[in-house]
Structure 1
Amino acid sequence: MVGDRARARVTEAPAALVFRDLTLGYDRRPAVHHLSGTIREGELVALMGPNGAGKSTLLNGIVGRASILGGAVDRCGRSVAEIAYLPQRAQIDAGFPISVHDFVATGAWRRLGPWRRAGRDEEERIRAALAQVSLRGFEDRPIGTLSGGQLQRALFARTIVQDARLILLDEPFAAIDGRTTEDLLGVVAGWHGEGRTVVAALHDLAQVRETFPITLLLARELIAWGPTASVLTPDNLARSRSLVEAWARDAEHCHAGEAPARLRPGVAA
Structure 2
Amino acid sequence: MAAQLQFNDVTLGYDRHPAVHHLNGEVAPGALLAIVGPNGAGKSTLFRGIVGILKPLAGAILTGDLDVRDIAYLPQSADIDRSFPISVFDFVGTGLWRSTGFFGGMGDRRSREKIAQALAAVGLSGFENRGIGTLSGGQMQRLLFARVLLQDARLIVLDEPLNAIDAKTSDDLLALVRRWHAEKRTVLAALHDMDLVRANFPETLLLARGPVAWGKTADVLTAEHLLEARRMCEAFDDSAGACLVHDVPSRAA
Q: Distance in 1 between matches of 2:37 and 2:142?
A: 25
Residue type of the alignment partner of 1:38: E
How many Å apart are 1:127 and its aligned residue? 1.1
The residue that corresponds to 1:161 in the other structure is 150
Identity %: 57
Task: Look up the SS of the partner of 1:15 in the other structure.
Answer: coil
Residue type of the alignment partner of 2:31: E
Residue type of the alignment partner of 1:151: M
Q: Distance in 2 between matches of 1:149 and 1:117?
A: 28
Does residue 242 (structure 1) correspond to residue 231 (structure 2)? The answer is: yes
Alignment of 1:44-55 (within 5 A): 44-55=32-43
Residue type of the alignment partner of 1:29: H
Contact 1:26-1:67 within 8 A present in 2 as well? no
How many Å apart are 1:81 and its aligned residue? 3.5
How many Å apart are 1:120 and its aligned residue? 2.5
How many Å apart are 1:110 and its aligned residue? 0.3
How many Å apart are 1:78 and its aligned residue? 1.4
TM-score scaled by structure 1?
0.87
Residue type of the alignment partner of 1:100: V
Q: Distance in 2 between matches of 1:243 and 1:66?
A: 23
The residue that corresponds to 2:134 in the other structure is 145
Alignment of 1:98-247 (within 5 A): 98-118=86-106, 119-247=108-236
The residue that corresponds to 1:94 in the other structure is 82
Q: Which has the higher contact order (CA 8 A, sep 6+)?
A: 2
Q: Distance in 2 between matches of 1:142 and 1:35?
A: 40
Does residue 251 (structure 1) correspond to residue 234 (structure 2)? The answer is: no
How many Å apart are 1:122 and its aligned residue? 2.2
How many Å apart are 1:30 and its aligned residue? 0.6
Q: Distance in 2 between matches of 1:224 and 1:233?
A: 10
Q: Alignment length, in residue pairs?
A: 240
TM-score scaled by structure 2?
0.92
Q: Distance in 1 between matches of 2:134 and 2:229?
A: 39
How many Å apart are 1:72 and its aligned residue? 0.1
Give structure 1 regions of 4+ aligned residues with deviation exceeding 6 angstroms.
none
The residue that corresponds to 2:246 in the other structure is none
Selected match of 1:79 from 53, 61, 67: 67
The residue that corresponds to 1:39 in the other structure is 27
How many Å apart are 1:62 and its aligned residue? 0.7
Q: Distance in 2 between matches of 1:157 and 1:170?
A: 15
Task: Look up the SS of the partner of 1:138 in the other structure.
Answer: coil
Residue type of the alignment partner of 1:112: T
Runs of 5+ consecutive residues of structure 1 not aligned to the other structure: 1-12, 256-269
Q: Distance in 2 between matches of 1:245 and 1:67?
A: 25
The residue that corresponds to 1:61 in the other structure is 49
Q: Return the structure number with greater helix share.
A: 1
Q: CA RMSD in A?
A: 1.2
